[in-house]
């Protein structure tokens, strides 16, 4: 018999879920407003809410929320003990929406896997998997990815010392296989076009051994900030972040050795971990996202070097978002040829990773290479597109630490972003707030901006200018 307090908490969360608010978002907001709940109680509440949506079609809408939750937990317990208690034909009708059968095959093992609790996967730093498994306990290695560990314990991983020191990241096995398939080499230049919060960006940077550079772009600035925090914890610096809205105007003129496009999709492959999405995703979403994926591919391919690699991955298995997109893209780009996924020991250029095979989310993956048949020159100036050149990159959130981050834009009195250095990293001097460089402020520039013309200001005049600048910054 489940705890009544847990059922009451879960019922309140169900009342807060709507078409505009997903179950995981409602859980996060609820826990923020109920900070007295301990981690074991939070796990039980989250488990209860997700079980409810796995068995949603079996529940009577006339019952109270608590009774429906209790019924879902009872069904889940029976199914976990013996999956054959529910027939595969019944799962095909009730565990997923009816429109899904027209978009993909529904193997019985796949349907049963959707009803099970998802596994929790960790990605250790390269070569540190065995040591991490010994320190965390309750870890099982995977033979599919060299750094993957399946965690079976109950401790709060975010509070462990290993997490705080960046010894591992929580990353699904299918996501890790994308980085393995990309196989970036140290010193190369890669672009993670839809980086999100940076899980795959950090994996690429790790595989490159902190050498070369990984460009990470996204349309959400908050996700980029999260990426920077994760990279700082992992002590990875061979990356650069830029905002990109997915349009034809690319964030850089750099030509890349490899491009990873983990495109936005319907998320059918995440339905085991996020069962609420089964009942909110529509066929219209699939069609719109497929068009978006094709547009993104056409935009990013122009930034690929001759001989470079293009990896296209989506966490879904619908035909409209996988094979249909890949075939339409290949038809319009004859200069591309498929590449075998050698790093995954697979002969073809396209692979579908099913959750019942990996005990993880499902994912579609395709790789292409750019034939070196372009007539334009393949050489570019050193560091083209990278301010500072190769080997001189530093993470933006770390390189100006302890220094002023503001300068005055030319011809205006408004503060602007600190220009990036173009020389090798030496001992940095603190920036003067009125200077556009790391040396002494230029008197002529100072007085041009403030409407004066003297060549050498007095100390009092400088102090007045500093005060004026501080007052102007208040309104920025």
**Structural domain boundaries of the chain?**
4-85, 185-399, 407-474
List CB contacts of 69: < 8 A, sequence separation 6 or more.
2, 7, 10, 11, 14, 48, 51, 52
Question: What does DSSP say about strands 406-408 and 256-262: parallel, antiparallel, or unpaired?
Answer: unpaired
- Tell me which residue of 100, 90, 57, 19 sits closest to 267, measured CA to CA: 100
- Of the chain, the percentage scoring pLDDT greater than 70 comes to 75
Q: What is the mean pLDDT of residues 28-48?
A: 94
**Which position has the token pair 């079996």?**
58
Tell me the β-bridge partners of 353. 363
Lowest mean pLDDT among 65-69, 90-94, 155-159, 407-411: 407-411
Judged against a pLDDT cut of 70, whether residue 362 lies above it is answered with: no
- Please check the confidence at residue 458 and state whether its pLDDT lies above 50: no
**Could you report the per-residue pLDDT of 333-348, keeping only the tens digit for each?**
999 988 888 777 776 7
pLDDT score for 343: 76
pLDDT value at 262 more than 80: yes
Beta bridge partners of residue 284, listed in sequence order: none
**Within 10 Å of residue 457's Cβ, how many Cβ atoms?**
17
Distance CA 234, CA 329 (A): 36
305 and 255 Cβ atoms separated by less than 8 Å: yes
Dist. CA 116–CA 441, nearest whole Å: 64
3-state secondary structure of 29: helix
Q: What pLDDT is stored for residue 5 in this prediction?
A: 95
Helix (H, G, I), strand (E, B) or coil at 307: strand
Gap between the Cα atoms of 241 and 8, Å rounded = 43
φ, ψ for residue 17, nearest 5 deg: -80, 135
Mean pLDDT (the chain) is: 80
For residue 348, the SS3 value is coil
Between these two residues, 392 and 309, which has the higher pLDDT value?
309
The answer, yes or no, to whether residue 476 has pLDDT greater than 70, is no
pLDDT of the residue at 357:
79
Contacts of 317 (CB under 8 A, 6+ apart): 104, 268, 269, 352, 354, 362, 364
Q: What angle do CA 66, 68, 69 make, to 5 degrees?
A: 65
| pLDDT-derived band at 415, boundaries 50, 70, 90 | very low
**185-399 belongs to which CATH class?**
alpha beta
Q: Is the pLDDT of residue 367 over 80?
A: no
How much is the pLDDT for 375? 23
Q: Are 129 and 147 in contact (CB under 8 A)?
A: yes
428 pLDDT higher than 80:
no
- 3-class SS at 253? coil
Q: Of 30-39, 305-314, 399-408, which range is least confident?
A: 399-408
Rounded Cα gap, residues 430 and 310, in angstroms: 42
What is the per-residue pLDDT for 473? 45
Across 55-69, 132-146, 255-269, 386-400, least confident range: 386-400
As a whole number, mean pLDDT of residues 277-303 equals 96
> What is the DSSP-derived secondary structure letter of residue 212?
S
> What is the rounded average pLDDT of the residues 272-285?
95
Model confidence at 276: pLDDT above 80: yes
> What is the band of 460 on the pLDDT scale with cuts at 50, 70, 90?
low
Of residues 53 and 354, more confidently modeled: 53
Nearest to 365 by CA among 236, 178, 217: 178
CA 287/CA 293 separation, integer angstroms = 10
Q: What mean pLDDT comes out for the span 163-169?
A: 96
> Helix, strand or coil for residue 431?
coil
- pLDDT at position 353 is 86
Kindly list the distances between the CA atom of residue 328 and the CA atoms of 7, 188, 320, 400, in Å, as whole numbers in the listed order: 48, 29, 10, 45
For residues 45 and 276, give the distance between their C-alpha atoms in angstroms, rounded to a whole number. 15
Residue 392 pLDDT greater than 70, yes or no: no
Residues 6+ apart with CB under 8 A from 361: 118, 172, 174, 269, 270, 272, 273, 315, 355
Query: What percent of the chain has a predicted confidence (pLDDT) above 90?
Result: 67
**What pLDDT, on a 0 to 100 scale, did the predictor assign at position 12?**
96
Quick one: pLDDT at residue 1?
A: 59
């Amino acid at each position: 018999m489940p705890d009544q307090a847990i059922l009451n908490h879960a019922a309140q969360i169900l009342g807060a879920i709507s078409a505009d608010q997903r179950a995981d978002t409602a859980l996060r907001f609820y826990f923020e407003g109920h900070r007295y709940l301990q981690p074991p109680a939070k796990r039980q509440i989250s488990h209860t809410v997700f079980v409810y949506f796995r068995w949603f079609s079996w529940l009577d809408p006339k019952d109270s929320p608590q009774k429906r939750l209790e019924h879902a937990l009872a069904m889940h317990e029976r199914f976990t003990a013996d999956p054959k208690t529910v027939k595969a034909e019944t799962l095909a009708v009730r565990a997923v929406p009816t429109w899904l059968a027209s978009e993909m095959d529904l193997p019985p093992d796949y349907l049963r896997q959707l009803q099970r609790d998802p596994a929790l996967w960790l990605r250790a730093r390269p070569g540190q998997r065995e040591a991490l498994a010994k320190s965390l306990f309750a870890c099982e290695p995977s033979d599919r990815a060299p750094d993957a560990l399946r965690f079976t314990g109950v401790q709060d991983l975010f509070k462990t010392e290993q997490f705080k020191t960046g010894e591992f990241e929580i990353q699904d096995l299918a996501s890790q296989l994308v980085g393995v398939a990309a196989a970036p080499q140290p010193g190369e230049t890669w672009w993670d076009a839809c980086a999100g919060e940076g899980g795959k960006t950090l994996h690429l940077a790790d595989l490159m051994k902190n050498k070369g550079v990984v460009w990470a772009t996204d349309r959400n600035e908050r996700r980029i900030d999260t990426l920077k925090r994760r990279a700082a914890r992992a002590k990875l610096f061979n990356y650069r972040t830029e905002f990109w809205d997915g349009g034809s105007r690319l964030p850089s003129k750099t030509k890349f050795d490899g491009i990873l496009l983990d495109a936005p999709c319907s998320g059918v492959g995440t339905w085991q971990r996020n069962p609420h999405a089964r009942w909110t995703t529509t066929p219209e979403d699939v069609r719109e996202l497929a068009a978006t994926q094709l547009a993104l591919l056409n935009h990013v391919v122009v930034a690929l070097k001759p001989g470079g690699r293009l990896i296209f991955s989506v966490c879904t298995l619908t035909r409209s978002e996988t094979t249909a997109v890949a075939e339409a893209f290949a038809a319009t780009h004859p200069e591309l040829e498929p590449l075998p996924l050698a790093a995954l020991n697979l002969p073809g250029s396209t692979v579908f990773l099913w959750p019942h095979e990996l005990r993880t989310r499902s994912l579609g993956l395709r790789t292409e290479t750019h034939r070196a048949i372009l007539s334009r020159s393949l050489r570019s100036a050193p560091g083209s597109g990278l301010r500072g050149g190769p080997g001189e990159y530093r993470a933006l959130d770390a390189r100006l630490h302890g220094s002023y981050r503001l300068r005055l834009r030319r011809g205006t009195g408004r503060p602007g972003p600190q220009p990036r250095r173009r020389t090798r990293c030496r001992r940095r001097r603190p920036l003067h707030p009125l200077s556009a460089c790391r040396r002494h402020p230029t008197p002529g520039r100072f007085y041009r901006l403030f409407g004066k013309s003297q060549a050498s200001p007095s100390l009092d005049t400088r102090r007045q200018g500093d005060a004026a600048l501080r007052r102007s910054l208040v309104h920025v």
